[in-house]
């Protein structure tokens, strides 16, 4: 990606009516109460290598998102468009590090600090208010993580995150790999790291229900493109895992698999997946399909909580909804 081209696109985007892509399809009458008929998918920026991990920073009224191959976190505002927020974002070594060295999933903790899942440095980090990062976790029982991918903050302060091998230079067969599983982990405020699940082949996006009693994970594994869920006990221990949604049939029609996901105040799941973003009821019924026409990696609620931002390959796009994200 050329910086000059990005600067030009950013300047144009900041002063022009957004163009649109794709289409939005309703599969259930209830979807019209979530997204108004005729709503468009607006393009806010383009020219990215692989956009990921969006998060809304309410204090600055802006969106932050990762470009994983470019080792960069970008920022977007309605006034100024797109600019660089942080580079490097996920790998700080002196040499190159594979295809996907940068940060992936982003979140804010209860103190308003930016949390990053970092592929290259293989850790979950926090950006301190005084500047500089601190490592929150980079290993389980002395073995380095594969490449932390996405995370969500529980109301207790615990951080749930996923650890597939996508960021390793040679993927699951990388010689530097130390863990023999792709885990879903919980990082407690005291620094303790606990395994939630070690049996999913490719755990990816992660989210919590509005009451924080259910943990959702998107599984990007080709033969099993599922959204799964665990009930959480009072001590945050997981109960029996269940499949909430199977995207196998949709994956035969559209590119992509379940990846990043968020939840609205009604408990509906907004998960990226085949063709764009799938909107699924808590019981697993497909309500609607935001077809971006791109492989779509992740999404996040922003503004007053009713705007869904989506990172769709080379694009940053958004949809204005009639609902709000959980936690707003």
Report pLDDT digits (tens) over 58-103: 999 999 999 999 999 999 999 999 999 999 999 999 988 999 999 9
- 214: enclosing H helix or E strand: strand 214-219
Using DSSP's 3-state secondary structure scheme, residue 248 falls into helix
Q: What is the pLDDT of residue 2?
A: 44
pLDDT at 17: 57
Q: What is the pLDDT of residue 95?
A: 85
Ordered DSSP codes for 8-69: HHHHHHHTSPPPEESEEEESSGGGGGTS-TT--EEEEE---SSEEEEEEEGGGTEEEEEETT
Q: Given this model, what pLDDT does residue 268 score? A: 98
pLDDT averaged per 10 residues in sequence order, the chain, 328 residues: 46 61 98 98 98 97 98 97 98 92 97 97 95 95 98 98 97 97 98 98 98 98 96 98 98 95 98 98 98 97 98 98 94
- Which residue is listed with tokens 């620094």? 191
pLDDT digits (tens, 9 = 90+) for 115-154: 999 999 999 999 998 889 999 999 999 999 999 999 999 9
For residue 4, the surrounding DSSP H or E stretch is helix 3-14
Angle subtended at Cα 268 by Cα 267 and Cα 274, rounded to the nearest 5 degrees: 150
- Per DSSP, what are the bridge partners of residue 289? 25, 278
d(CA 112, CA 240): 33
| Complete domains list, the chain, with CATH | 3-320 (2.120.10.30)
pLDDT for position 3: 44
Q: What is the pLDDT of residue 240?
A: 98
């Amino acid at each position: 990606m050329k910086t000059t081209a990005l600067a030009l696109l950013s300047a144009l985007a900041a002063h022009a009516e957004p163009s649109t892509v794709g289409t939005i399809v309703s599969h259930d009458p209830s979807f019209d109460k979530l997204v108004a008929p005729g709503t468009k998918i607006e393009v806010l920026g383009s020219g990215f290598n692989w956009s990921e991990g969006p998060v809304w920073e309410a204090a600055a009224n802006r969106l932050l998102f990762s470009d994983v191959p470019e080792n960069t976190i970008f920022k977007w505002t309605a006034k100024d468009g797109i600019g660089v927020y942080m580079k490097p974002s996920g790998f700080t070594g002196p040499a190159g590090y594979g295809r996907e060295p940068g940060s992936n999933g982003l979140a804010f903790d209860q103190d308003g600090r930016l949390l990053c899942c970092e592929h290259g440095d293989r850790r979950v980090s926090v950006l301190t208010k005084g500047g500089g990062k601190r490592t929150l976790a980079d290993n389980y029982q002395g073995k380095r993580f594969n490449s932390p991918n996405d995370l969500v903050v529980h109301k207790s302060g615990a951080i749930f995150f996923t650890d597939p091998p996508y960021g390793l230079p040679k993927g699951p067969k990388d010689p530097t790999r130390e863990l023999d599983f792709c885990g879903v982990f919980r990082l407690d405020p005291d620094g303790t790291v606990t395994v939630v699940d070690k049996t999913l082949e490719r755990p990816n996006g992660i989210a919590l229900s509005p009451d924080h009693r259910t943990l959702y994970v998107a599984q990007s594994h080709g033969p099993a493109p599922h959204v799964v869920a665990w009930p959480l006990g009072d001590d945050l221990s997981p109960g029996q895992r269940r499949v909430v949604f199977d995207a196998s049939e949709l994956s035969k029609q559209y590119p992509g698999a379940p990846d990043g996901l968020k939840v609205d105040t009604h408990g509906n799941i907004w998960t990226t997946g085949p063709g764009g973003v799938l909107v699924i009821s808590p019981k697993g019924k497909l309500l609607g399909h935001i077809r971006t026409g791109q492989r779509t990696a992740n999404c996040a609620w922003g503004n007053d909580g009713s705007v869904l931002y989506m990172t769709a390959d080379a694009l940053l796009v958004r949809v204005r909804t009639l609902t709000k994200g959980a936690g707003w």
